[in-house]
Amino acid sequence: MIAILLILSVLIGVMFGKFFGNRQKFAKNLLILSAGFLITVCLNEIFPMIYHSGDSHIGMWVIGGVLLQMLLENMTKGFEHGHFHHHSEKDILPLALIIGMFIHAFIEGIPLADETEVFSSYLQGILVHNLPISFILGAFLFRNKKFSASSWLIIILFALASPFGMLAGNYMDLSYQPYALALVGGIFLHISSVIIFESNKNHNIDWGKIGLVILGIAAAMVAHLFHQH
């Protein structure tokens, strides 16, 4: 069931991108909302879980996740937070970007290996995170309204990356799961903070952006409180 939800989140995002990809403001707003959701999931769910593991040095793995995401962004060029520069007019993404996105999603799937709840807060974070990324992916791949085999291959690979990570996690010793989760926490922290704290135009206060962040935080808090009960 979890794997199905992961795949659906990508496919739904891609379809929205295909049909509404010309609405760049919508994609940007979706990213900002998801950033508020993600950073709240980090602070309310991921960080308490990893520090409860008892390893006083596990914070280094969070820092490792931040650095790993910075390295991946050298490949993806910031695709995860809405930055993409068109390298060609063909409906083909650079290979490095595809590999970077796959690694990113694969790592996110590893902590789901021992997940017993279908709608855990961590899973919700990934699903919300997948939607804007997939929206941007669909908007680019289908910007000429074409259905090429290469486009669908990229989409399928990305949709299966997290389920593959979850499958790989099943073969890992459970004692390593907090470290995988700490890596993801660092990745989420970096992505959400970049989206939230990116400089606004002329450094003016963007009340709309603040409102979307608060909305994302509120949605994550509701999910957190519901999860507790």
- For residue 117, is it within any domain? yes
According to DSSP, residue 198 is labeled S
- For residue 23, is it within any domain? no
- For residue 22, is it within any domain? no
More confident residue, 151 or 165: 165
pLDDT at site 75: 82
- For residue 132, is it within any domain? yes
According to DSSP, residue 200 is labeled P
Total-model pTM: 0.86
Q: Which amino acid is at 73?
A: E
Average pLDDT, the chain: 84
pLDDT at 225 over 90: no
pLDDT at site 146: 65
- For residue 25, is it within any domain? no
pLDDT at 200 over 80: no
Looking at the 3D structure of the chain, how many domains does it have? 1
pLDDT at site 199: 55
pLDDT at 208 over 90: no
pLDDT at 205 over 60: yes
- For residue 180, is it within any domain? yes
- For residue 208, is it within any domain? yes
According to DSSP, residue 145 is labeled -
Q: 143 is in which domain, residue-wise?
A: 2-17+30-228
Q: Taking Cα atoms as reference points, which of 16, 32, 29, 35 lies closest to residue 139?
A: 16
Q: Taking Cα atoms as reference points, which of 49, 87, 106, 23 lies closest to residue 224?
A: 49
The band of 17, judged by pLDDT with boundaries at 50, 70 and 90, is confident
pLDDT at 229 over 80: no
State how far the Cα of 7 lies from the Cα of 1, in Å rounded to an integer: 10
State how far the Cα of 66 lies from the Cα of 222, in Å rounded to an integer: 27
The band of 84, judged by pLDDT with boundaries at 50, 70 and 90, is low
